[in-house]
């Protein structure tokens, strides 16, 4: 890939795991399209940080991924910014409980939309540009794609679909585009710290064979492996969870 083509779109990249992924890609000489929806201050802070390291190497684009028109605009702007794109990281995701019997249609549309529908149509829209660059796609799945998280049925269903999305697109887009996924475990505590007590955290850590919570950089490094060091790998989902999925 030429420097002109070496551009990456990371959805939900303003903070947390998405921001760490963006920083790792930027350090590997990728130009970055930082997608955000609600987190505008964080998005522009990150863009300024990256541009201070390498001028004109990052931009921020706002889009509601559950709005198809905005999603298509995001794809168009991302592919045109540096006259091509070589990497799509589908990181943006809604996550919250939906107790069965109380879940709403709006919950369904939001969780399925952000975790499954948007990644599919974003990949479809960017496929020609990605194919031209012999690029790749990395989807962020979840260990609960295989074994559901109690009280989070819609989210678990959406991530199960995301896993199959990865395998299906790997077949559909070969040989020009590789498609893989990452299934994180306990990486970051929920943003609403008050919703998870110290006792809850201890119980969760006790279920992890490596006895520690992962870091955002663990996901970023796994993505970098799939992007830069695994040219013969496609259709795979790499679990990064400290062994948590062994004990679910």
Angle at 106 between CA 196 and CA 118, to 5 degrees: 90
Per-residue model confidence (pLDDT) at position 3: 42
**31-57: pLDDT as tens digits:** 999 999 999 999 999 999 999 999 999
Set 96, 120, 155, 232: catalytic member: 155
Give the model's confidence band at 193: pLDDT under 50 very low, under 70 low, under 90 confident, else very high: very low
Residue 191 Cα distances to 15, 16, 187, angstroms: 11, 9, 12
Percent of the chain scored above 90 by pLDDT?
Answer: 81
| Among 161, 111, 124, 122, CA closest to 11 | 122
Distance CA 226, CA 232 (A): 9
* Distance between CA atoms of residues 140 and 158, nearest Å: 11
155 in active site: yes
Specify the pLDDT at position 198: 64
How many CB atoms are located within 10 Å of the residue 223 CB? 27
What is the model's pTM? 0.93
Strands 87-90 and 58-62: unpaired
* CATH topology assigned to domain 7-246: Rossmann fold (3.40.50)
Q: What is the DSSP string of 10-61?
A: ETT-SSHHHHHHHHHHHHTT-EEEEEESS-HHHHHHHHHHHHHHSTT-EEEE
């Amino acid at each position: 890939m030429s420097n002109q083509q070496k551009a990456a779109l990371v959805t939900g990249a303003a903070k947390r795991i998405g921001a760490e992924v963006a920083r790792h890609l930027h350090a590997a000489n990728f130009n970055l399209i930082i997608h955000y929806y609600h987190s505008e201050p964080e998005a522009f802070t990150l863009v300024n940080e990256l541009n201070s390291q390498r001028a004109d190497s990052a931009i921020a684009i706002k889009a509601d991924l559950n709005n198809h028109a905005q999603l298509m605009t995001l794809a168009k702007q991302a592919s045109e910014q540096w006259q091509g794109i070589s990497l799509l990281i589908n990181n943006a995701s809604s996550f919250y409980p939906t107790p069965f019997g109380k879940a709403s249609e709006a919950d369904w549309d939001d969780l399925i939309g952000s975790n499954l529908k948007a990644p599919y149509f974003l990949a479809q829209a960017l496929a020609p540009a990605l194919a031209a660059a012999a690029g790749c796609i990395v989807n962020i799945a979840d260990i609960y794609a295989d074994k559901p998280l109690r009280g989070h049925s819609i989210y678990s269903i959406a991530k199960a679909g995301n896993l199959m999305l990865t395998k299906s697109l790997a077949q559909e887009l070969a040989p020009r585009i590789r498609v893989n996924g990452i299934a994180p475990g306990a990486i970051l505590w929920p943003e609403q710290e008050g919703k998870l007590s110290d006792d809850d955290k201890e119980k969760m850590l006790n279920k992890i064979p490596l006895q520690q919570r992962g870091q955002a950089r663990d996901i970023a490094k796994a993505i970098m492996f799939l992007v830069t060091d695994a040219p013969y790998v496609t259709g795979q989902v790499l679990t990064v969870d400290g062994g948590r999925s062994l004990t679910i």
